[in-house]
């Protein structure tokens, strides 16, 4: 069984579903409130675990109620937390996400907490037996140290590049599987569209795998010397929160199973669309059999 280790943001999300976003200084009744773990790497690890990949998380977790819930939920989904570092007197990353049924959009408020970006508290030993390290660019100094450690041991590095964080230019050359958003790709390459950004990123960093996601427009991937487009899968979305994280987890699982990149993108798109039909990034049934029939 392939093994993936993840390092990145670990978040406790409070999802609040409402008919429409509340007006300022008015009261609005929530249709549903769901409290669940989140974060790009954590969500991707959960998806991978459910698709049959052995997964583990490393990094720091606050020793508060939110941190305990985040860890407990990861374990419940089969993600090993044995090498996570518990940091006393720190607070967790939390977010509050409003989901509008009227516009099918989301609005997020968050507090990043006080877990520090300090590589000294990250236990890197699980990478010695890993096939892949998955990062999201959060805790950049920790991510760079982990990526270098992985590369020294022949472990592949993947990056969910959603934000242009300080230090990203040092991390990008270490990445084998680069899956950025179109927004990120255009910002880094100073191009005006996703296709051009894909080509420019390929020229700049030459990762083994490059896929640029563009939301409902699908996205682009490098196929040899060609840049090809893949389509998104249209569904009646209930909650798009975590769809990108799901795409990343499913793409990596497909890659590790040996699917070609074209099939991997279609597979990941289907799983992400399936997720959008459910509230929360994890609150739905998923396994490889279900995923292959989507």
**For 63, which DSSP code?**
S
pTM of the predicted model over 0.85 = yes
Strand partners, 211: 221
Interatomic CA distance for residues 283 and 12, integer angstroms: 14
Residue that has been written with the tokens 């010695």 in this structure: 128
Q: What is the mean pLDDT of each run of 10 residues along the chain (294 residues)?
A: 95 92 90 92 98 97 96 97 96 93 87 96 97 96 98 98 90 98 95 96 96 94 95 89 94 96 97 92 92 93
Rg (CA), the chain: 18
Interatomic CA distance for residues 173 and 36, integer angstroms: 33
**Domain 3-292 homologous superfamily, CATH:** Ribokinase (3.40.1190.20)
The pLDDT of residue 75: 98
Can you say whether residue 120 is alpha, beta or left, with left for phi > 0 and alpha for psi between -120 and 50 degrees? alpha
The pLDDT of residue 166: 87
The pLDDT of residue 283: 86
The pLDDT of residue 220: 97
Q: Which is nearest to 90 in space by CA: 104, 111, 74, 76? A: 111
Residue 281 in tokens: 């990034």
The pLDDT of residue 129: 96
The pLDDT of residue 106: 84
Interatomic CA distance for residues 97 and 113, integer angstroms: 16
Domain boundaries, the chain: 3-292
């Amino acid at each position: 069984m392939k093994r993936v280790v993840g390092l990145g943001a670990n978040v406790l999300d409070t999802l609040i579903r409402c008919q429409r976003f509340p007006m300022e200084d008015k009261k609005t009744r929530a249709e549903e409130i769901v409290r669940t773990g989140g974060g790009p790497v954590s969500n991707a690890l959960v998806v991978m675990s459910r698709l049959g990949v052995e997964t583990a998380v490393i990094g720091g977790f606050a020793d508060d109620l939110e941190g305990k819930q985040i860890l407990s939920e990861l374990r419940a989904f089969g993600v090993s937390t044995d090498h996570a570092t518990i940091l006393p007197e720190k607070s967790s990353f939390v977010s509050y996400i409003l989901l509008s049924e009227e516009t099918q959009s989301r609005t997020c408020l968050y507090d990043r907490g006080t877990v520090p970006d300090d590589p000294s508290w990250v236990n890197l030993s699980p990478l010695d037996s890993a096939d892949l390290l998955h990062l999201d660019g959060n805790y950049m100094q920790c991510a760079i140290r982990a990526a270098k450690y992985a590369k020294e041991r022949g472990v592949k590095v993947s990056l969910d590049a959603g934000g242009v964080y300080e230090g990203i230019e040092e991390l990008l050359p270490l990445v084998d599987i680069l899956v950025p958003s179109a927004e990120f790709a255009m910002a880094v390459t100073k191009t005006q569209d996703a296709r051009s950004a894909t080509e420019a990123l390929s020229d700049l960093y030459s990762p083994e795998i490059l896929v640029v996601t563009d939301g409902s427009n699908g996205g682009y991937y490098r196929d040899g010397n060609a840049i090809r487009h893949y389509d998104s899968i249209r569904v009646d979305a209930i909650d798009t929160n975590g769809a990108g994280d799901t795409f990343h987890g499913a793409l990596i699982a497909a890659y590790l199973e040996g699917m070609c990149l074209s099939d991997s993108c279609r597979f990941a798109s289907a799983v992400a669309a399936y997720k959008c039909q459910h509230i929360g990034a994890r609150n739905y049934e998923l396994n490889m059999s279900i995923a292959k029939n989507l």
